[in-house]
Structure 1
Amino acid sequence: MSTTAITPISTLRASLERHNDTFETLLKLIPAKYYIVQDLTEEQAASKFQQNKKKQKAPKQAIKEASKKAKKEKLDPANQKNIVDLQNEASILKQLSKEKGKRKAQEIDGDDEDDEDDAAMDVDVRLDEEEEEEETLNAGNMNVDVNGTTTLVPMASSSDITALRAKLHAKMASLRRGGGGGREAGDRDELLEERRQQRAAMRERRRRETKEKIRREENKNAAKDKEKRDKDAQVKLTKTQLLVNDPTTAVMASRGPNSKLTNVAFSSVSQSGASSSYKHNKLKTSSNPTQALTQLASRKEKLAGLPEEKRKNVEEREKFEKAEARLEGVKVKDDEGRLKKAVKRKEKEKVKSKKAWDERKEQLTSSMAAKQKKRTDNIAMRNERRNDKRKGIKPKTGKARPGFEGKAFGKGKAKSGAGGKSKGK
């Protein structure tokens, strides 16, 4: 049997180291940014995923300084690290963070028993201060080497820990006494109540300001409206004024009370414009003669129901009112005979228009019937021709018109002419 030679461990180690050096050399040739994934900063993430976000422009001087600094860092030989160096640094940092986390967990478990009386404190303040205390204690208790080994150091005395704890409590008390004009707040409810009162006062002040603003605007608008009304009244007054003064009024004004001429006032005839317009409206009748007759009949019935003396007074007053209205140009339609004639004339016009309309309808009906008959005849003739064509029947030729559908005159003459020429030869 053949025995296989066993490769010594040193040879295998040397071979593995050579291969490792070769791979590391190849890795060093690759730029680190193309090989190692880097975490994006907030600005880079915003520029990549929030493209529609409004960009905040930085000052030009700051941009210049930042670009100059970036160029210097880029050209700095200390920053030109290859992939192997970056991986080594990352592994060391990872190991250190793991050990630090373990120590923190152990020390937090040990400090829970001592700090039971401070359980009601604010969580954020307690955690921050405990981290500072732990860092201080850890700095005195142990030191971490670069290789990850820990060297134990004797623990600090209890007096130092007590002083640090007193300092922590004092700082937390000062943080509790936040704004309040130098006085210490009783508790959270008092602070909330104070803020609520401040908000209520602010709302009340805003409400008062809004009311005051609305009142000022209303007063301003009222003043504007009043000014506009006064202006319109002034314009109306100037429009109604006469360009030339009335001579009668001028004469009457010039005459004094001792004048010999006497003024006669016809109070029964000359009345105010409002009353005259009311009377005119009362005398008006409908423009339709039939309705006007009905209105006159109802007025007569009403007059007939009155006593004799009162009826005479009303008739007399109506006569004067009608005369006055006619003088002012109002058409008073109170003649029954003329109204009846107008009704007859209107009835005749209606009959005449009805007759014309009936004739028009009859013409339209007859023309539509004739067009429909012609269409039906054309369709029947077309169907008949189609059937004859399908059966092979030739269409009948009508009577020829003389001079148009007769024999072709040129054909017979041409033949005879050709024969005559040949005979002559």
Structure 2
Amino acid sequence: MRSLRRSTWFRSLALVSATALALTGCSNNSGSTSTNSDRGPITYVQGKDNNNVIRPILQKWNDAHPDEKVTFKEQSDNADQQHDDLVQHFQAKDADYDVVSVDVIWTAEFAAKGWLQPLKDDFAIDTSSLLKPTVAAATYNDTLYAAPVTSDGGLLYYRKDLVPTPPKTWDEMMADCQIAKQQNIDCYAGQFAQYEGLTVNVSEAINTNGGTIVGSDGKTPTLDTSQAKAGLQRLVDGFKSGNIPQSALTYQEEQGRQSFEAGKLLFLRNWPYVYSLASTDGSSVVKDSFAVAPLPGVSGVGTSSLGGHSAGMSVYSKHKGTALDFMKFLESEEIQRLFVTQASNAPVMSKLYDDADLNKQLPYLSTLKTSIENAVPRPVSPFYPALTKAVQDNATEALKGTKSVDQALTDMSAAIKAASGS
């Protein structure tokens, strides 16, 4: 969860469309010969179950399928460690990692390496009821490789007692920073520490201004544009003006949330999980004085980086029939409702965002739907780990003022080319 315009859908599709790489390993020829009729116990692997939602869900499955029980392999709560653990077991052709939780940024990498079972033909799943960007994020080389399970989109948290009408554009938000100065608080923060969250925020800035980081092949940098420059420049200018405090250079999700809850921030870009905490934490001084809005853009709603996780089936699984049914179970309406009500995880089923009872319980849902519908994935690339490092390293220098925006983008492009061998 922490673990982004011409037309939102078409831009999302473009980012996940066909790559020029020859994918000799994308079939399951090197994996198990298991078919969709092979059934038996399986293991489900995902990060730490902080909200204690997946265990009750697995119990529901196990009660109904005593001969096909799912064992939970819980990873750490660190996304990089989760990624490396999956890579290690895939490389070992471990048949015990049957179904794995795949961050949307890992789909291309795992699919390109032939580790995920393509969800087509006998393994096809129905995605017609799901939000299109979530399906796009689980697609690679025009093939679905994972089943969308939870989504995520960035939201703008704001002090409704100080700003009755939320800004619709970045410029309007920057103008509202005078209110923060009058209140002697900081104006705006996102996630600007040197980690994955920085890639999220930089991608949002560039995408909102109409730019991209790489092309549809997943390896050719596309940063030498006025749009990309304008996107990164607006963040740099925010730090230069003081509208984004220098302390935000150390902010991951939690530092920003804590600052906002303490009443020290006028605006915060963060994920939906913040809503329930800011509303209920005993230490929150804004529980009755904040609201959420879509991220501000150039002339209207901005572009969020798409977040979330899908369920991927290992090509090495020996019980792919059970694995397929379990993935469909995770996408069922009953389980999707549990994800959103018990863990504040954004559902992938479109109709739930318009459910009156859910909206009464979770007032941010309609805003979140707008965010997700206007979201695009972070750069879709089989070289993503190296790509995100290139973004983080050079964006950090630009935000600190130790590199110009032009130089940062030039060096970012060079690092991406080196990583992809292009």
Normalised-by-shorter TM-score class: under 0.3
Structure with larger RCO (C-alpha < 8 A, sep 6+): 2
Which has more helix, going by share of residues?
A: 1
Q: Name the TM-score, length of structure 1 as normaliser.
A: 0.17
Larger radius of gyration, structure 1 or 2? Answer: 1
